[in-house]
Amino acid sequence: MSHPHEDAEKLGYEKSEETYMEWQNYWNTVHLDKTESILNVTHGTSTDWKSVETNGKGDAQADIDTKKTSSNGVKKDRRWIFAMRHGERVDLTYGPWVPFCFDENGTYVRKDLNMPVTLGERTGGKESYALDTPLTRVGQLQARLVGEGLRAAGVALRHVYCSAALRSAETAHHLLLGLEADASVKVRVEPGLFEYKGWHLARGMAPFMTPLELHKAGLNVDLNYKPYTDLEINTPETLDDFFKRNEYAMQSAVNDTVAQGGNIMFVGHAATLDVMVHAMKRLAAGDNEDLNYQISKHLLRVPYCALGAMRENPWEVVSPPCPPSINSSSGRFDWKTLLDI
């Protein structure tokens, strides 16, 4: 059965295509200039799910204990497995922002209403924030809207895992706020879900905020969670390394929560949606062979807080139970233009 929002797939189509074309042109420039960091690319859109071999339709019933009756009459759990990109980033919204927003004592001072009200204490201070950006206020809202959408669709989450990037942890936190989830549903910070480290070679990487630092900054993270993967920030990796650690983390999370049941959310990066589909299809097939993973050609079409969905038993890609969202870009207003009137 389809969801009510699916008949509006052309909503915002032309505007979206304009945005994607702009960033496709920029991506080509970045791709040709090997000294440019991929971090300067902003957002894109959801993976073209129609290109995936298994094109599921989803189910009408969408609560946390969604069941499907098998041929022998035994109830089988049809969990939702979601993957979601983080929300709008401060660095890609403002460009170099740290020099403007930290005083001589290293204290953060907000200089725009779309910037975070406060920032938590972390190892490396402002230098770390320059390399591991927080969300904008709009980014927080984007995440909360997805949570509200899931709640309106009657879909709850029991297990939430996020990349160790600050923007992903904040997205997961605000997603749960929009979902109005019970406080016992905490964000599990999983370094294995971080994006491809090769994209960070030009600028380097900051130490990730620890779960305790994130907790002190106000995020509802699970301080007792033991990650499936440790990620060394100063060593290179191949695309296969990137895929394998993401796949291992995702498959382990799915397997380890079977007995408890409940829907799963992976909050990460643009590639997280694509990797989830590969990882779950390979899990279903029992495929342990090397994949020779390649970055999806649709990577630039995965916007902030894009949501991908799959269902278990049988595994299939399905339409998410809530609508997507789109918003326009905005420039910084210079009030001095009014002096010319």
What are the catalytic residues?
A: 85-86, 269
Structure tokens at 18: 């304009």
| Under 8 Å between Cβ of 271 and 195 | yes
CB environment 181-199: b (16+ within 10 A), e (fewer): beeebbbbbbbbbbbbbeb
Tally the residues of the chain. 341
How far is it, in rounded angstroms, from Cα 271 to Cα 316? 18
**Strands 80-85, 67-69: pairing kind:** unpaired
DSSP 8-state code for residue 336: G
Helix %, strand %, coil % for the chain, to 5?
Answer: 40, 10, 50
Q: How far is CA 165 from the centre of its chain?
A: 10
CA distance 341 to 335: 11
CB 177 within 8 A of CB 148: no
Helix (H) or strand (E) holding 285: helix 270-285
